[in-house]
Each structure stands twice: as C-alpha cells, then as structure tokens.
Chains A and B, each alone.
Chain A
Amino acid sequence: MTRLRRSGRGLLRSLAALIQMLLPVLLLGTFVTYLLGVLSGLSPAHLQLGESATPAAVARLEHEWGLDRPFLVQYLAWLRGLGGGELGLSWYNGRRVAGLLASRAVISLSVAGLALVIGVGLGSVLGTVAALRQTSWIDRAITAFTTFISVMPSFVVGIALVAIFAVGLGLLPSAGYLPLEDGVWPWLSHLLLPALALSCDTVADLARQLRVGLVGVLGENHVTGARLRGLGEVRIFLVHVLPNALGPALTVLGMKLPHLLGGAVVTEAVFGLPGYGRFANESALRGDVPAVQGVLVVSVVLVVVFNLLVNVLLARLVPAARRGGSP
C-alpha cells in the first residue's frame, strides 16, 4: 500500500518535472511561431490586392482580418483558436487552414511513422548485433555503415534511392502519392523510398545508442548474476539486459522526432509528395502567414506529445528515471 502510494507520488513528481520542461517549449514555440508572422511584415493585402492597392484599401482589409489589434491580443485570440482546433483562415484562398492541413498531415505523418518504424527496426537490429559481436569485424562494419549514413544529407539519400530503385531498377515509383483506398501496396510503395531516406539519421543514432547501452549493461555484474542463477541466454537478454540498456536509445528517439517531422520538407520535395512540408514551403513562398503558422504549430505540438510518450515509457522501464536518478 505504502509502496503503491510512493511510486504513485514519484510518477506524479516526474510528470510535473516533465510538464515544467515541455510547457515552456509549447508556449515559446507558439509564441515564436506567431511572432514570425508579425516579423515578416506581410499582410493579406499583398496576396489579395496586389502591389497597386491604395493604403486605405490595405487598412480596411487588415481591419477585417483583425490585424490592427495589439500584438498580444492577436496572439491570445490565436491561442484560443488553437485550443479549439482552429488554425485560422488562409490568406491565399480564405479557407480553413486546419482543413487544408488535415489531409496533407496524414501523408507526412505516414512517412514519418514509417520512417520511425524503419529507424527503430533497423536501428535496433544493427545496434544489438554490434553489441553482441563487440569488437568483431561485424561490429566495425556496422559502425562504419552507421557513420556513413548519418552524415549523408537526406536529399542526397533520396536522390540516390530514386536513381537506384525507381529509375535504375524500376521497382518502385519515383514520385507522387496514392491514398490508402487505392490499395495497401500502391499506397506503401509510394511511401517506402521517402521513409527510407528520412530514416537514415534515426537508424544511425538508434543503432549507436543501443550499442552503447547494451555494451554497458552486458558488462555489469547483474548479468553475470542472472547467468549464475542458471537462466538461459535469451531470457537474460530480453528480461535483464534489454530493459536496462534502452535508456540512451529511447532518449535519442525522443530527440529524433523533430528531425522526422522537419525533414518532411526535403523528402516531400524530392519525392513530390503533397504533404505538409510542401504545404509549408509553398505557403511560405506565397506569403500565406496563417498557413505556415498552422504547420509549425502542429509540428511543435506533435514534438511535445511524442516527447511526453517517450518519457513516460522511459519512466516505466527504468525506475531510476522515475526517481529522478537518485539512488
């Protein structure tokens, strides 16, 4: 009973610490995003009235959009809208940004999600094999491979993948997107190459961190202890080694999401995917401030939510993290 209460309180405390860390990210992130619109000096008048608009017409339009209010009032109104899932109206065509974004976000999140799966899957396998065959040639080959792919820019990897799999071998489509309704394989085949290009960084970092974690735990006495208790090697690895070794890898995974979400800008350009990265790029070039702000704020919220999930997972796996690291 006391134990339950104690661990409950510990969980609450770590949650409070986490919110203390993530709340500023959320607030500052939205603030910076909104400030960006003001700093740009852009107004819907540029898009809708053109260069020859009279000052009076510009002022009237800005009043319609509420842009003549004080900055903080505008910011708070925008935040209130965010709370209700509203991201404002596009200056370009006057439509709801939330609506414009939703279908594109599905594409980007599919690519990011698939990249995450590839990153976790391939990274775990490489990291585990390297750790178990420590200092052998396999270990060195894996280290060389991960170093190589981690310095490759994702658009270079993307172009190489297109050149090999689409143009060279003709196995997969080089660009475009088909919705899931058209079948699983057509959908997946359009996502595979972009996800692969996006996942390189995650594969490399995860493999490296997992290897470090595993090598550290494998050298600990408690693994010898488990062996001496007569447990089998598979059981020892899964129950006594892996959970204790996941800390650094999970932490890195939490830090990789901004990359997976932000990298969409480049991969979507390489593979001609109509995702939110392209949307942000095009809207920004067009000067459609609310649309860009919408993409940015959604990405910030996703990063915060994902970090929350990773940290809760970390706390469940490693009691030390739950206690704030104190022995």
Chain B
Amino acid sequence: MLLRRLWRLRSARLALGLLTVVAALALFGPLLEPQSPLAGSSAVLAHPSAAHLLGTDYIGRDVLSRLLAGSPVSVLGAVMVALIALVVGTIPGILSVYLGPAFEWITLRVVDTLIALPFLLFAVSMTALIGNGITEALVTVGILVAPQYYRVARAAALSVVRSEYVEAATIAGASVGWIIRKHFSAKVIPPVAVALASTMGNGLVVVASLTFLGIGVRPPEPTWGGLLASDLDYLAYQPYAPLFPTALILATVWAFNLLADALRDVTGQSGRVLVERGAERRPDQAAAPPGPRTAPAAAPGGIGTAAPDAVLTVDALRIANRATGEELVEGVTFSLRRGQVLGILGESGSGKTLTCKAILGILPPGFQVSGGGIALGGRDIAGFTRADWSAARGVRVAAVFQDPGSYLNPSQRVGRQVEEIFRLKKHLRRREARARVLALFEALHLRDPERVFEQYPHELSGGMLQRVLIASAIALDPAVLIADEATTALDVTVQAEILDLLLDLRDRMGLALVLVSHDLAVVAQLCEEVLVMRSGQVVERGPVSEILRRPRHEYTRLLVADHHRYGLERPARDASAPRSEGIEHVS
C-alpha cells in the first residue's frame, strides 16, 4: 500500500533506483574488482587509464578495486546503524507511554542527555576505547542515534493513546492485539519509516566520518571514508581523486534523503499545504443567485459627490486579484468631510474590508487596485512612496480592527508601543512621550493608566486592548479613523462604551469616522450616512433613517427584516440621544 503510493512519486522511483544500484554495489561489489584492492604495484599515483580506470593510489593500488571493496562496510554499516538505532530507540519510546511515569522520566532524561552530547566526539572516543572494531563502531553510533527513534515512536504512541477511537475500541472490549494491528501500525510505522530512511543517510555520513579517521576499520582495509583520508595527503598530485568516493557518498546520502522526503509526502507528514490566495470571496456567495443590482445613484447627503474639503475621497475604486483578474471590489465611490460619520454595511466577503485596506495601503499580496482612485487629504495615494505612506499613516488616516490584541506586538509592553509613536514621529523625549501616552489613556477611560502602560497585550481584556489600539490610532490626531468591525468580538456593554468613545472623539477632535460593520444596529446607532455593500458593489446608500424606513434593495430589505424579527443585538440605551433615531424607529 505504502510502496504503491510511493512508486507513483517520480522522486521516490529515482531514489529507489539509485538505492538498488548502491545495494548491488554493497552486495556484489567485491566480486567485480578488476584487481586485488590490497596489492600494491610500481605504478604509484597513476592517472586514470585503461589498466586502472580510476588511477592508482600512493602505493600503486587500483582505486576502482578499493572503492568496490569498500562498499559493503560503507553501505551495510549505515543500514546496520539505522537498524540498531531502530531497535534500541523505538521500543523504549513506545513503552515510555505505557510503563508509567518513572520509566518515562528516566528514559526522557537519558534521551535528553544523549542528544546533548557532542555526537562525533563521543562516537570516536567510545568506539576507540571499547575495541575499535567495526561492530563496536556500529553499536556505538546506533545507540547515539537511537534518541531520534525514541522521540518519533513516543510521539506516535502518544497520539494513538490520546485518540478517541482507541479509547472507544478499548471500551468496546477489543483485544490489545487487534488495537495494535489496526491502529498502532497505521500511526507508528509511517514516521518510523521516514526516520529509518533519513538515519540511513546520516548513518552513512557518520560511518564514512569514522572510517575517515581510521576508527572502526583500520587503514589497509578499504572504505569510502578511508580512501578520502589517503587522497587528502596526495591532493597536490591527484586533485581529482577525492571526487570518486565523494560522488558515491553524496549520491547514496542524496538517495536516502530523497526517499525520506517522498515517504514524508506520501504519509502526509511533510506539512506541505497548498496556500490558496485571494479566497476573499467565499464559494457559497459566488454561487448565490445574483440579486438585481441597482446602479448606485448619487444619493442626497453628500456621499458620492467629492466635496472640496474632503479628507478622504474614494472614486470608482476597483480591486482585483492579480493572479485570476477577478474583481472583488467593483466601483466603490464615496467621500468624507471632517467630523462626518459614514457607515459601511455588508457581510464578510462583500469587499468592505478590502476597500479599507486599499485606503490604508495594506492590500494583501496578490491584490491590486485595478481601477479608480483614492485621495487622502486631497493627495492621490497612487503615487505614494514608502516615505509618503509612513508620513500619511497615523496623520491623514488611521485604523482599528477586530481582534485588537493581534495588532499589538506581543512581546512589548503596550505603553512602549504607543510611546514609540510620539518618540519617532513627534521626536519627543521619553519622559514627555510617556506623559502624553498616560494622558491619552486617561482620556480613553482606561482605568489606572500607569499600570496599563507597563502591561503586555496578553494581560489586557478585549475592551482595554481596543482602547489601547484606539489610543495608538489617534495619537497623531488623524483626519480619518477607519473602524473595521472594531467592536464585533466585544461583549455588549463594552461594545457600547467603545462606540460612545468613538463618537466622543469625533465631537472633540473633528475626526471623520468610517465605521465598517456587518451589524445593522451598530451602524444605525452611530452613523448619519450609510453605504450597503454586497459582492463588491454598493447596492444602497443614503441617510440611515431613510434606509431603515424604506430599504430599496432586496438585500437591505432582508437585513432590516431580519433585524425586526430577531430583535436588536443591543437595545437603545439612551432614547434621547440625537443619533439613535434609527434605533428608535425599528424598536
């Protein structure tokens, strides 16, 4: 089964083919020797010729014969190392899961120690001290390599124990033997097979290293590593000589590694996942029946007509996937004056977030503005350089998002991150910058600003994080603040507080707000004007009260109807608030 799947991979066929040749060399190589590998001749250090295809060494021995004679030890040695390590490592690895904490603790410590030891130094010293024979060498290296198998087998055994189906099978009274045959082999064999292939490659290098040093096999006896050692001494006479043993070693190691990679792919352990880009639009939406798309009429109230004092103008903006050419935003137009609050309403995949990202110059890779334009404070962003963006962000436009914690550096105190803005952009000293941050935190109703300043993002609640993020966004007194689903994941009371805070900022600082949400209640409560987006298009626009009372587009009608049926996500808190007239109407 495994072999058949393996055979379908070209790299696996190549690896198996190469390994067959190597195995043949290891088994039958000595039979093919043209001359005796140990008999010297008068032709010392001869270059390759018909008599000696690969030349002769420093006492006139035939290099080809020595290479062939050295194959069994070099290759079978590697195989033996892997098999010894397999037995020594796998068995305690599996048992460590079953034999209780004492055995587990001891074996884990031993494995940690073996891994921390300088491998080659120990392999050489141990082999030489114990007896310096090939058996001693292989056993020593096998034991030193065993921890790899221990870890692999232990991880697989743990996953078997923890998986529910084995529990279920045990409860159902299945025999231990059945469980081992059925589930254990499926989970343990694949990773062990990968380890086997890769340790054979490593084992070959280690055996070659040892024999290169004269450890395990003593000099007159030929090995691939030993040949290299004598080649090194006569490099000036035969600079090409090391190439022959090196080529054999590298080809074999490469084949083992190729096989290990192929095994990893076939058994699904490589973690190779094809990353699909541009999946912004979900398939269920693409398949949805197209509703009647009314052309966005220029509604009363200023949206769509570029006012001369506009802080943000979006003009027939189109955004496309670079690879497929598919347009995900198709002609969005609006503009925003100081102090104005605009709501953009739409479900996920409607293109509202892409529009915001285009305004901020942070379109994900693979997307591009394919038509129309955006102007920030009267300047077209199309010609913005990196320096322009750096100067514009935080001043002309700023933004806060859903999941505010993820937008802060997890390993820095939050105060430092807001302070950084003042220090870098306003060139304030640390003390002044800190005072500004604390004042800002205070103004945003963060309790105990001094304490919050010193905390890491993971130590703060969602509501506090959003306040910190808002603080970082408004630190430089921006003209436009985009709040993209900024209150979506927060609980209801916190959501209300944050929304109030945003309106308060608008009133005090003359901030223009773009409020993006899928939640009609949020948009209705805060905004004067609203755009409704669907599938990359603006399907409806106008004053909030108008849209709630007389939705024209089918989708908006559906939204409003849903709203009536399931009730508001949050009741109007203050019926006398001037901007909550829409809420009053629907409740």
Does B548 lie at the interface of the complex (its beta carbon under 8 Å from any beta carbon of A)?
no
Tell yes or no: B113 within 8 A of A by CB.
yes
Q: Is A274 on the interface with B (CB-CB < 8 A)?
A: no
- Which of B280-288, B302-310, B417-425 contacts the other chain? B417-425
**Most chain B CB neighbours (cut-off 10 Å) among A174, A232, A233, A304:** A232
A277: chain B residues within 8 A (beta carbon): 121
Residues of A within 8 A of B132 (CB): 285
Contact count band on B: 35 or more
A303's partner among B117, B129, B409 (CB-CB below 8 A) is B117
Whether A266 touches B116, Cβ cut-off 8 Å, given contacts A28-B110, A167-B236, is no
* B120 at interface by CB-CB < 8 Å: yes
In the complex, the chain B residue whose C-beta lies closest to that of A247 is B411
Interface pair B406/A220, CB less than 8 Å apart: yes
A247 to chain B minimum Cβ distance, whole angstroms, is: 10
Cβ–Cβ < 8 Å partners of B469 in chain A: 225
Judge whether A327 is part of the interface by a CB distance below 8 angstroms. yes
Nearest CB in chain B to that of A304: its residue: B116
Contact (Cβ within 8 A) A225 B208: no
Contacting pair B231 A159 (CB below 8 A): yes
> Are A227 and B393 in contact, CB atoms less than 8 angstroms apart?
yes
**A173 CB-CB contact with B under 8 Å:** no
A206 interface residue, CB < 8 Å from B? no
Given contacts A3-B454, A28-B113, A230-B476, contact A280 B394 (CB under 8 A): no
Q: Please, how many angstroms separate the alpha-carbon atoms of A255 and B403 in the complex?
A: 36
Minimum CB–CB distance for A189 against chain B, Å: 18
CA distance A140 to B387 in the complex (A): 30
In which size bucket is the chain A interface? 35 or more
Bound CA span A258–B114, Å: 10
Q: Does A265 contact B (CB under 8 A)?
A: yes
Q: Closest B residue to A288 by CB, please name it.
A: B129
Closest Cβ neighbor of A243 among chain B residues: B411
Chain A interface, DSSP helix/strand/loop, else mixed: helix
Contact of B201 among A151, A261, A266 (CB under 8 A): A151
Interface residue? A116 (CB, 8 A): no
> Which of A29, A167, A287, A327 makes the CB contact (< 8 A) with B235?
A167
Chain B 102-145, CB within 8 Å of chain A: the 1/0 string? 00000001101101111111101111111110000000000000
Shortest Cβ gap from B481 to chain A (Å): 11
Given A28-B110, A222-B406, A284-B124, check contact A300 B116 (CB 8 Å): yes
A153: B residues at CB distance < 8 A? 205, 208-209, 249, 253
Q: CA A264 – CA B129 in complex, angstroms?
A: 18
A20-63 with Cβ < 8 A to chain B: 21, 24-25, 28-29, 32, 36-37, 39-40, 42
- Among B109, B209, B412, point to the contact of A155 (Cβ < 8 A): B209
Q: Are B411 and A318 in contact (CB under 8 A)?
A: yes
Docked-complex contact B456 and A319, CB < 8 angstroms: yes
A155 to B228, Cβ gap below 8 A?
Answer: yes
**Interface membership of B472, Cβ < 8 A:** yes
B209 and A266 contact, CB distance less than 8 A:
yes
Q: Using known A-B contacts A227-B393, A269-B213, determine if residue A152 contacts B250 with beta carbons closer than 8 Å.
A: yes
Please determine whether B394 and A156 come into contact, CB atoms closer than 8 angstroms.
no
Is the Cβ of B410 less than 8 Å from the Cβ of A244?
yes
Once bound together, how far apart are the Cα atoms of A3 and B456, in whole Å?
A: 11
B186 an interface residue at 8 Å Cβ cutoff?
no
Inter-chain contacts of A24 with B (CB < 8 A): 109, 112-113
**B116 and A29 form a contact (CB under 8 A):** yes
CB-defined interface of B181-201 with A at 8 Å, one 1/0 digit per residue?
A: 000000000000000000001
Query: Does chain B have a CB within 8 A of A131?
Result: no
Shortest beta-carbon distance from A116 to chain B in Å: 14
Do residues B212 and A28 form an inter-chain contact, with CB atoms below 8 A?
no
Q: Kindly state whether residue A113 has any CB partner on chain B within 8 Å.
A: no
In the assembled complex, the Cα of A234 lies from the Cα of B579 at a distance in Å of 44
Would you call A95 an interface residue if the criterion is a C-beta within 8 Å of the partner chain's C-beta atoms? Answer: no
Could you give 30 example pairs across A and B, Cβ below 8 Å?
A: A29-B116, A36-B125, A36-B130, A39-B129, A39-B130, A40-B131, A151-B253, A156-B250, A159-B242, A160-B242, A162-B235, A174-B235, A229-B473, A229-B475, A230-B390, A230-B391, A230-B395, A232-B390, A259-B118, A259-B119, A261-B121, A266-B209, A269-B212, A277-B121, A281-B215, A284-B125, A295-B125, A296-B125, A299-B118, A327-B458
**Further pairs besides A281-B124, A303-B116, A317-B411: 4, Cβ < 8 Å:** A151-B250, A222-B407, A285-B132, A285-B215
5 tightest A-B CB contacts, nearest first? A262-B118, A284-B128, A225-B407, A230-B394, A221-B406
